[in-house]
Structures are given as C-alpha cells and as structure tokens.
Amino acid sequence: MVKLLLFFALLHIASSEYIRVCYVTNWAQNRQGVGHYNISTDYEDKLCTHIIYAFANVTSDGSILPYEKTDIPIGYKAVNAFKKRDPNLKTLLAVGGWIHGSVGFTDIVKTPEGRWNFITKAISYLKKHDFNGLDLDWEYPAQRGSPPGDRHLFTLLCEELKREFSKHNLLVTAAVAAGVPSATISYEIYEISKHLDFINLMSYDLHGSWESSTGHHTDANEARPIYEHSVYISVDYWLSSGMDPSKLILGLAAHGRGWLLRDGCREWNLGTRGRGGSTRGNSTRARGILAYYEICDIQFQNRICTSSSSVNAPYGSNGQDFIGYDDEESIAYKVKNIMKKKNLGGFMFWTIDLDDFSNHCGTGKFPLIKAATAAVDQDIQPRACQNITHTGECPPPPTLPPNKCRVNPIGPWKGRIEEDEWCKDPDNCPNSPYCVHYKGCTSCVCECDDDVTGTAPPTISTVFTKASTTLPTKSSTTCSTTSSTTFSTKPSTTLSTKYSTTLSTKSSTTLSTLSKISTTSTESPVLPGACTVPTDQRLRRSCYINPQGLWKGDAIDLWCKANCRFVKTCATNMCCCDSGN
C-alpha cells in the first residue's frame, strides 16, 4: 500500500508540470441515458488543472450572455464550486463555438471602442460569476462570413484582452483550428502566441463523414505529406510559425467519427468509400459521431488497434459502420510522442462529458483523461486493445437507393459542408422534397447524382410548392409540437464536437439566403412548418426552433436561442419567436 501511494504521489508530481484542460458542455445535461452528464456530481476532483465551460454567446454590442437558462444558476456555480475542493483549479468561460460562428465577433473587433467595450463587459461578467478567465472560441476569424481583415483584428483583440485581463489576474486563452489551410487564413500565429496565456489546438476532426472516403479524425501518422491532415502536421505547422511550444496545448478527443459503409463486412478499411455519417448513438443522437462510452458498446467485426495502425489509433467496422476513435493506448501515444517530445505545454480534452464519466465501459471513470495523465510518466503502460478479424461469411451486399444526393454545386448552398452532410444522410435524401432531380438546379438544397433529367430546372416557387404539398405548413404566432410531419430532421452533430466540421447548424449566411429565397417568390412560398411572427425586433424575446420544419433539432435550437434576438438575418421560417408574453 505504501508503495502504491508513493507511486501515485510521484505520478501527480510529474503530471503537475503540464496543463490538463477539460472542456465541459452545457448541453450534455440534456442527453438521455448513459450520456446524461450532471455537472455538479459527475466530475472527479483534481482530474484537470483547467475546466472550460462551453459555451456563452457574444452579441454585437459586446455583451456576453448565457446560452441555456440553467447556465448561471446551475452550470457556472457547479464548475466554480470545484475550486473549493481544489484550490489550484482554474475555470474559464468559452465564448463562441461552431454554432455561434463569427456572429458578434466581427462587430466587436471593428473598432478600438468596440474591443474595449467587449473587454470591460467580459471582465465584469467573469468576476460576477467567479471565472478565472475567458476562452476565445471564434470559429473562425477571416472565414465563415468573417472578412479577411479579421485575421489581424483577432490579434489586436488578443493583445488588448491580455493587457487588461492581467490587471485583474484573469487568464485569456483561445481554441484554434488545427488544419493548416484554416490556420493559415485565420491567425497571425507568432503574434497571438505572445498575447495569450495558452492556446488549445483542436487537433481532432481532421476527417469526418463530410468526406466521401473514410479517414481517422485524429490521424497521428508522422509520415503524412504536408498537404494531408495529421496531428503531427498540425503541431509542426503551429510551432514552425512561431508558436511558443510551452503555450501550445494538444487537443485530444473523447469522441470518434464514422461513416455508414456500402459493404461494411468486406470493405471497411481506411480510404473506403462511405455513404454519409455512421449510425446515431443512443445518447449523442447524431450521425457520424460517437462518444467513447458509446464506442465501447460496439461489436466490432474488424478492428485495427493502435500498435498495428498506420494512424497510431484504433478503427474498425461492425459490418455497417466505420468508426475511427481513440482509446487509452492511442491517447498515451499522442501524449508521449507528440506532447512530450515536442515540449508542448499540456493536453486538452474535448470533452469531459464524452469520456466514460460513469464507468459504463467497466474500465473505471474517465479512462481517456486518466490515460493521458498517466502517460506523462513513461513507465506507465495503458491497457491495449486486441485486433479483430471477421471470420464468418459476409451477407450479400445491401441494395442501395438508386438516387445519391449531394449538395447543389452551383446554388446558394454551394460549399456548405453541413448541407452536403444533410443531403448525404439516407434519412433525409433522396426521399426528401428538397432533393430535386434536375441538373444545374439553383433553387433546391440537394441534387441527385442519377440519370434523371428535365427540360428545365424548377423555379423557386416550384420547389417550395412541392415541399408544402408533402409537409404541413402553419401560420401563427406559435408552433405546434404535436403536429405530424414526414420530414426527416437535420442531425445535431454540433452538440458533441467542437471543430468547424461538426455539421449541424446554419450560419447567418445561410439564414440570410433562406430569408431572401422565401420572400422573392411570386407565390410567397414558406418552408414546411414555418411560423409567421411579428417582425418588430422588440417582440422577438425568446426564440426556439420550428418544431415541424426543416431545421428541427437541438443544434439549431441553440442557434436560435443565442441569435434570434440580436441578428436581423434570423429568418422567421427557421426560428419561431414568441411575442414576449
């Protein structure tokens, strides 16, 4: 017993040299079953050195507002209460996120007065709610509707935040893109490195079901060419661009990403052609992404483990889905061979509520986070998985639908990854009225790759008329949640992951486009289930997702709650707003 206590004491000394960041999300409390995360009770003391609460909303006037009604009375108080038991713990509030995009940020950085206004309000908000700092999660400067000049303005924001925050003993950090193309566009890396206390590198979601072929989203192949994606390439790019390694925090994932396969028994390896996101998990309920506590329940027919894998992480197939993920062994590999060898400042997990926080898998609570901590000591060997090879007969290949849907390549949705994902989801297309069998269609969301042709593309009014004859419409100041609908909903993938390719929300650009389309038709078409509400912004007190329409789902609900009151491009046919009663 004495030796065991001495061992853990030495382990704590070794790991204490590194920052251990844990994000916790304010929507994990809404998951069902084993995924329901209680912020107050499911955390384990001294697991992390920094807890970052995600997310809060930034408005155009520089104010910070909570996303959920429970944030202030429950969430904020819960994470900050941990500091009473662990005085060394620091808590930060993350502002922004993928759903939030650049809304608010682009307005506050335009002028010195706007930045100062945001900074002073942020200091007041953080102190009021007992946070130790702010985590900037602007995804991403100079992208997604953010003008090119925001790259430099983001640097100025970081510099000015740090100068004022230091006076109040507050931390300022940022979560940043790992992909080289995105990082090149968004950041002046050397400059922001000087001004931020540390930077959380989102070195995951490097691949996902928005791509046509399978890949590993935390690929750790050291030999990848520079034009491909891997954690090594991302880290090396940031370091070679002037990033202080002691401030760079390696992002680790407690979630996996997957594809639905065409013949998962025979063709399941890396590079296999997929057909949309993998089957939804029982708790996360989103195609293409699974929590670790869901992955451990998968009955793999084929699996390659870390020690045998070219990407130094496990992946496999259950006969239907391809899943790439991290386990204790691959997490330890990344910590030992990337974080430690490159002298990085520590590791970060997205997210604590996607790890096995309840010991559902039977290997202890928080196995991934604890594996990362243990890997700081080179003598610790994590539990290894076993390769699996399918030995039985494979069933006949499945008969696939004749129509393969994809995003309209020339219309208003061109280049929007989340639309492409929605179109490829077999639950939504080709049966959806938004998948139209015309080449060159400019007014529909999805186009089908088949041989069906028409004499002319349909008009805007034709597309919406077709939709409205399939699905019920509603014009009132409220939405009925009990009305039936045959339309499949968009998967709320963004609720479970952080990176820009999480695929389940509309940005203000799309909202603006939709609003424009819905008001230019001579027949004044409306989207299925749309609500008609007062246009007076003063009456848009509380917004929620149209429960019958195209955008039904938790992720869009969050967007509406955060933005509908403040953004004029919030189309009434997407978000239903009450009258303030």
Which tokens belong to 139? 């995804």
Supply φ then ψ for residue 65, to 5 degrees.
-130, 150
CA distance 283 to 215: 24
CA distance 57 to 59: 6
DSSP 442-508: SS-SEEE-SS---SSPPPHHHHHHHHHHHS----SSS--SSS---PPPPP-GGGG--STT------H
CA distance 559 to 99: 6
CA distance 505 to 495: 10
Q: How far is CA 48 from CA 252, 257, 282, 488, in A?
A: 13, 25, 27, 40
At 84, which amino acid appears? K
Helices 150-166, 112-128: inter-axial angle, 10-degree rounding: 50
Which of helix, strand or coil describes residue 12? helix
CA distance 551 to 505: 8
Torsional class of 484: left (φ above 0), alpha (ψ -120 to 50), beta (otherwise): beta
At 294, which amino acid appears? E
Q: Cite the beta strand spans of 225-300 per DSSP E.
A: 248-253, 255-261, 274-277, 289-291
CA distance 205 to 218: 7
β-pairing verdict for 321-324 and 315-317: antiparallel
Question: Does residue 502 contact residue 205 with C-beta atoms inside 8 Å?
Answer: yes
Which tokens belong to 64? 């910070």
Catalytic residues, which ones?
Answer: 139
Q: Which residues contact 307 (CB under 8 A, 6 or more apart)?
A: 329, 384
